[in-house]
Structure 1
Amino acid sequence: MAKVLVVEDAPAVRLSVVDVLEALGLEVVEAENGRIAIAELEKSTFDLVVTDVLMPEVDGVEVIKAVRSRYPGTSVVAMSGGAPNLPAGYVLKMTEMFNADAVLYKPFMNDELRGVVARLLELPTTA
């Protein structure tokens, strides 16, 4: 069973992402910010990290950098809805520069998330 770390500061979004991933039969660990996510990365390895980009304390770019330095084979999905003065497209372009494997623009449909995760983890498309 693949293991996924979900990093999202908005509880409702985090719960939604976790529900979709658990329905795919994945083992999911949650982190409410980048600081907690980096601590989880120090304790365990993950097949996939799904991270928000704009978060308090430690942002998603730092999470991606930590994943790439410790576990270069781990896939990363970056997600963002942007911020009042920072459009999501710009934010997600930054994450691509740090080698995120995929990006999702919030709000996204559950099918979009399932498709990206299935592709990155090479899951059956009927999952």
Structure 2
Amino acid sequence: MHTSDLVITDLFMLEKDGVEVARSLIKHDSEVKIIAMSGGDSVGGRKDVLEVLEDFGVRRTFGKPFRIAEVLEAAEALIGE
């Protein structure tokens, strides 16, 4: 199976949601480095969803809007681990 150095995903996408994507990736590779982001609200609120993602293995989360420099810094740090 191919592994990625880093995965960056949005939580709300057309065909799959980011939570489903993150869970699937972590199930296949518990060491996968994932950055998730969201600009939308969901049941329980965006912040709650982002916190839950961190609890089960997503390495960094960002709410939109975010500064691209922050995401790049997080990506560089995770790739460097």
Q: TM-score range by the shorter chain?
A: 0.7 to 0.9
Q: Of residues 50, 57, 68 in structure 2, which corresponds to 1:99?
A: 57
Instruction: Find runs of 4+ consecutive structure 1 residues off by over 6 angstroms.
Output: none
Structure having the higher Rg = 1
State how 1:1-127 maps to structure 2 within 5 Å.
44-83=2-41, 87-122=45-80
The change in CA–CA distance for 1:71 and 1:85 in structure 2 (over 3 A counts) is closer
**What is the TM-score with the length of structure 2 in the denominator?**
0.83
Instruction: Count the aligned residue pairs.
Output: 81
Q: How much identity, in percent, do the aligned residues show?
A: 33
SS of the aligned residue for 2:27 comes to helix
Give the CA RMSD over aligned residues.
2.1
**TM-score between the two structures when normalised by the length of structure 1:** 0.56
Structure 1 regions of 5+ residues with no counterpart? 1-41
Greater CA drift, 67-76 or 90-99: 90-99
- Whichever residue aligns with residue 75 of structure 2, its letter is V
Task: Give the superposition deviation at 1:45.
Answer: 2.0
* Unaligned residue ranges in structure 2 (runs of 5+): none
Question: Contact 1:47 / 1:121 at 8 angstroms: preserved in 2?
Answer: yes
